[in-house]
Structure 1
């Protein structure tokens, strides 16, 4: 049995976004229980030259919706990047999940060879669909998920590897 691009992209993006949403819920509860202003976590970063949690979350959503759209050959939805609270980040994640859920497997049929063009730092980069997924979209998506997780762990939120991996017990083998 061979895998389709749909099987290796959409479920991974959905799982990651669900994990991110759960991590943010835990963080909001932690902030409330410890009487810490939400902005402390939303603006926290690992290093001065890295984006804060708020932007890491926005970028993870952008990567997920961009990946799904580009592989499906549809327009990438544009979001305003104006979130400033945990609730607003949850709404962004939900909006992204809704968009991805409407991508059908047949839309990705043959997208391994589809040309994907990105403009990065003023330079145009061309990928095959498979190259885009494997070498750009998924690595960057996981980078920003990991950065968000690490920011929160570093700032005392009680998270563990199961929070990052997400899903119910027994679903990791799927």
Structure 2
């Protein structure tokens, strides 16, 4: 049995973002227990030249919403990067999960060879749909989810591998 593009994208993005939401909930509980304001925790970084926690979550959600939209051949919705609290980040994740789930398989399936062009600061990146999904969007989302996990873990949140994987 072959795996379709919708099967390889939508449920994977939804699970990853749902697990990210769980990790953030544990991070929020830790921050609250230690009397660390959301604004402080969300600006925490692993190292000075890395992006802070808030940007990690924003980029993870951008990867998911952008990928399914581009695979479907539509422009991704705009989700401004304005969050300053854990609750606002949770709402962002919920919005993106709902958006990702709104796509029908028929919109995404068959997009393996669709031309995907990303306009980056450094120039254009050109992909086929399949290469974009497996070589850019999924790894990008998981990198930023992993970094979020690492930032919260380093800050002292009680997180384990099962929190990341979603085995709860």
TM bin (shorter chain) = over 0.9
Q: Taking structure 2 as the reference length, what is the TM-score of the superposition?
A: 0.96
Contact 1:15–1:167 (Cα < 8 Å) also in 2: no
2:109 pairs with 1:109: yes
Q: Which runs of 5+ in 2 are unaligned?
A: none
- CA distance in 2: counterparts of 1:26 and 1:147, whole angstroms: 15
Q: Which residue of 2 aligns with 1:57?
A: 57
Contact 1:5–1:112 (Cα < 8 Å) also in 2: yes
1:38 is displaced (CA, Å) by: 1.9
1:2 is displaced (CA, Å) by: 0.4
- CA distance in 1: counterparts of 2:167 and 2:101, whole angstroms: 17
1:34 is displaced (CA, Å) by: 2.1
- CA distance in 2: counterparts of 1:109 and 1:101, whole angstroms: 14
- CA distance in 2: counterparts of 1:96 and 1:142, whole angstroms: 15
Aligned residue pairs total 168
1:100-148 superposed Cα distances (whole Å, 9 cap, x missing partner): 0101111112100100000122411210000101111111111100000
Q: Secondary structure of 2:103's match? A: coil
Q: Taking structure 1 as the reference length, what is the TM-score of the superposition?
A: 0.93
Q: Which residue of 2 aligns with 1:40?
A: 40
- Please, which moves more after superposition, 49-58 or 31-40? 31-40
1:71-103 superposed Cα distances (whole Å, 9 cap, x missing partner): 111110111101100010011001101100101
2:166 pairs with 1:158: no
- CA distance in 2: counterparts of 1:110 and 1:156, whole angstroms: 44
Contact 1:45–1:151 (Cα < 8 Å) also in 2: yes
